Structure formats: structure tokens, C-alpha cells
Amino acid sequence: MSNKRLVILLMLPVMLVASPAYAYIGPGAGAGAVAVVLGFLASVVMAFFAILWYPVKRVIKKFKGTKPQTHRGAAGSAGSS
């Protein structure tokens, strides 16, 4: 008898008499898992939005002829109060 058959014959009774795991996912762990999945999906959607929207926005502003506003740093706005 080969080793594979011997292992299968020895493991068969163990697999047939397996007991249930009695696993439980509490409300806290379940809510955390749902929050992680929703957060991941939201980040993917926002990444696609950022990749697609900002070049379109730039083209629209260029087409209308308006200049995008520049952000002045903290040094420029600190002395003008």
C-alpha cells in the first residue's frame, strides 16, 4: 500500500467525525469588518474620482479662460492681519 493511501485511510475517520467549531462573530467585530470594507470601497471610488475629475476640471477652466487660483503660503498671509 502506498503512503498516500495509508494517510487517506488514517485521516478519513478524523474527517468524518469532525465537531462543529461554534464560531461566533460578535456585533463589534462584524461592524468593524463592515466599516473596513466600506472604507476601502470609498477610498477606491475617491481615487477614481480624483484621477478623472481634476484633469476634466483643468480643461473646463482652460476652455472658459479663467485662471486657477494660487494658494499663498503661511508666510504671505501672516503679515497682513
Domain boundaries, the chain: 24-65
Report pLDDT digits (tens) over 33-50: 999 999 999 999 999 988
Rounded Cα–Cα distance for residues 81 and 77 (Å): 7
Q: Among 1-5, 6-10, 57-61, whose mean pLDDT is lowest?
A: 1-5
Instruction: Specify the 3-state DSSP secondary structure of 25.
Output: coil
Report pLDDT digits (tens) over 22-36: 878 788 988 999 999
**What grid cell was written down for 7?**
494517510
Rounded average pLDDT over 54-74: 76
Tell which phi-psi region holds residue 66, choosing left (phi > 0), alpha (psi between -120 and 50) or beta: beta
Range list of H helices, 1-81: 3-16, 27-64, 74-78
Rounded Cα–Cα distance for residues 34 and 26 (Å): 12
Q: Which amino acid is at 65?
A: G
How high is the mean pLDDT of the chain? Answer: 81
0.75 surpassed by pTM: no
